[in-house]
A and B are shown apart, each in its own frame.
Chain A
Amino acid sequence: MEDAIEVAELTKYYGDLLAVNHISFDVEQGEIFGFLGPNGAGKTTTIRMLTGVSTPTEGAARIMGYDIQRQPIEAKEQMGIVPDVSNVYSELSAWDNLVFTGKLYDMPRTFRESRAEELLEMFGLYDRRGEKVQGFSRGMKRRICIAMALMNRASILFLDEPTSGLDVQSVLIIRDLIRKLNQRGLTIFVTTHNIEEASQICDRVAIINHGKIAAIDTPEKLKRTVRSLQSVEVAFEATPLEALKHLKALPKVSEVVKEGDKFKLFTDDPSSVYSSIWDYAQNNRLRLITINTLGPSLEDVFVKLTGITPATADGNTDQRARGRGKGQISGREKQ
């Protein structure tokens, strides 16, 4: 079976700025493929080249075997696209947005109307089909945007930051939808800077940074590559002011990050650190509420591979701590 997406040496320059640097990868049919990277890493530029919005400076991409540059019509027939901004027509109704999308794909009238009806029902918007989209919430616009991408029964769905900026309910609906669509055989290419999301939904993940792919593998295999980032998580009933300093001084602890009322101690020897924490608690008459040994998260892999440091992220705050707390990493670069 041929790959759904084949990318070879894809490159994009903006003037002298190298935004995407000779990247190559394949996405298998039926896969959920995550494209993970900080802001400005080249995710959106890559998706714009794969979908025909932007012309690559060098390299090639094939969509279901069709070259996006040489056979753009055939390649575009295979795909549905949900960009990072919900690019719906605010002046048109939900119904008209879907029907117009059907017209862009030259779907026959009865076919596009029945498909629009089916999708509006699927997304819980059928009762509001006659209303102009400008009055819809951000989550509803996102759902309309995804419905528009599904109008042509594409083989591949491109999603650029699909849950960015949405409320929790909308995020859960969209993640569930991505899984269901994938179970029906749709190949999904999703860009995100939400590491937790990528870890939850993706079969494979590519980590891109500064326009280059740093790693491609399944989330679990990527985690296994950085054993040195194992950690022990601990919470005390009453946290002394000096706890952070004392925990950093424990043997075999490479780094300590405070996450809410918990401390995360990074080490390559969790059992030794576990004992040290126990001794520290006994000596200081502290009562332990939680103590867990954790493997590296995908975020840890991401930080290690991208080399993001507090200095590159924010200048004066602990990026790793902030990133771990939210499951997101932000860089400073141009998107």
Chain B
Amino acid sequence: MIRVHRSHIGRETRVAWAITVKDMRTYYTRPPSIMFGILFPFSLFLSFSIGRNIPLASQIPVLISQTLFFSSSSIGPVVIPSERANQTFDRFLTSPVSLLSILMGKTMAGIIYGAGISIIPVLVGAAFFGSTIVNLGALLACFALSSFAFSALGIMFASIPGQTPGQVMMPLNFFRIPLLFISGVYTPILELPTSMQMVALISPLTHTVELARYALGEGVFFGPLLNIAILSAYAAVFLFMGIRFHIMNQRKE
């Protein structure tokens, strides 16, 4: 038996990263990842943007936000049910590593996927539609916190004991799609009635859209500090809930 006397945190981090790299190699090019993580947000964006009398440059923050939202939250629901179906998820549970590190490894795969794909609209906006990054820090915070929160959201939903991505994507979409309509994506929050503004406040997507708009020099309603605080809180809550649900599954299995 091998005993490796290295720091506990260092060990957990290395194992989590190994899980991330394995998931990146194995699942990024799977059809459900491409469909739900790339085609879905882009087609939604096009269907709601084409024909509207709005300059495309001002739509770039919306595209960034939608891409972060859908791409980051799609990896967990693709990876975990697939691994549950071929029992490779059990491999992690029988390894000498904590559940937190296992789920952090998987969350990181979603973060990298979501953030990586969401760079495309930033580059396209800058190259073809004249959008300018006026606050790089806000954009980085938007990418880091949003991809973390939404990836953790996907991991949390992936605790639903299904064995195909569709079994998790369906309930996840019941949650994701309504958020598009209450988060100031298609209608600016300023134009919403007060009651809807309160609803928008509790949606994590609102704060992604706001941060992206702020980073690209557009007007915002809640402000970046509140956006960062709420996105951070959601990231922690989704991760915590994901861990709790996976522990509950272990009790049931």
Contact = CB atoms under 8 A, between A and B. Distances in A.
Interface stretch (B33-41, B91-99, B136-144, B158-166): B91-99
A153 B1 CA distance: 5
Chain B interface extent, by class: 20 to 34
Interface stretch (A52-60, A239-247, A250-258): A52-60
Interface string A135-162: 0000000000000100011110000000
A191 to B, nearest CB: 15
A236 interface: no
Nearest to A106: B11
Nearest to A85: B87
A85 B90 CA distance: 11
Given A79-B94, A81-B94, A104-B15, A14 B2 contact: no
Contact of A92 (B6, B25, B252): B25
Given A106-B14, A111-B2, A87 B91 contact: yes
A117 interface: no
A52 B1 contact: no
Interface in A51-86: 51-55, 57, 72-74, 76-79, 81, 83, 85
B4 A106 contact: yes
Contact of A105 (B19, B26, B95, B252): B95
A76 B3 CA distance: 12
A30 B133 CA distance: 66
Interface in A320-335: none
B201 to A, nearest CB: 38
A71 B104 CA distance: 21
B43 interface: no
11 contacts: A14-B252, A77-B1, A79-B94, A81-B94, A83-B90, A91-B26, A100-B18, A104-B18, A106-B4, A107-B2, A154-B1
Contacts of A73: 96-98
B1 A155 contact: yes
A83 B18 contact: no
Given A76-B94, A104-B18, A104-B97, A87 B86 contact: yes
Nearest to B87: A87
Contacts of B251: 54-55, 57
Interface string B225-253: 00000000000000000000001001111
A87 B85 CA distance: 10
B18 A53 contact: no
Interface of A is mostly: loop
Interface string B93-113: 111111000000000000000
Given A48-B253, A76-B94, A77-B96, A107 B86 contact: no
Nearest to A45: B253
A233 B104 CA distance: 62
B187 to A, nearest CB: 43
Nearest to B8: A73
Nearest to B92: A104
A221 interface: no
B3 A77 contact: yes
A87 B93 contact: no
Interface in B64-105: 86-88, 90-98
Contacts of A92: 22, 25-26
A123 interface: no
B78 to A, nearest CB: 13
B9 to A, nearest CB: 12
A108 interface: yes
Residue of A57, A73, A108, A111 most packed against chain B (CB within 10 A): A73
B1 A152 contact: yes
Contacts of A155: 1
Contacts of A52: 93-94
A89 interface: yes
Contacts of A304: none
A104 B91 contact: yes
B81 to A, nearest CB: 14
Given A52-B94, A77-B96, A152 B2 contact: yes
Contacts of A153: 1-2
A87 B82 CA distance: 12
A90 B85 CA distance: 13
Contacts of A106: 4, 6, 11, 14-15, 96
Contact of A107 (B4, B19, B22): B4
A103 interface: yes
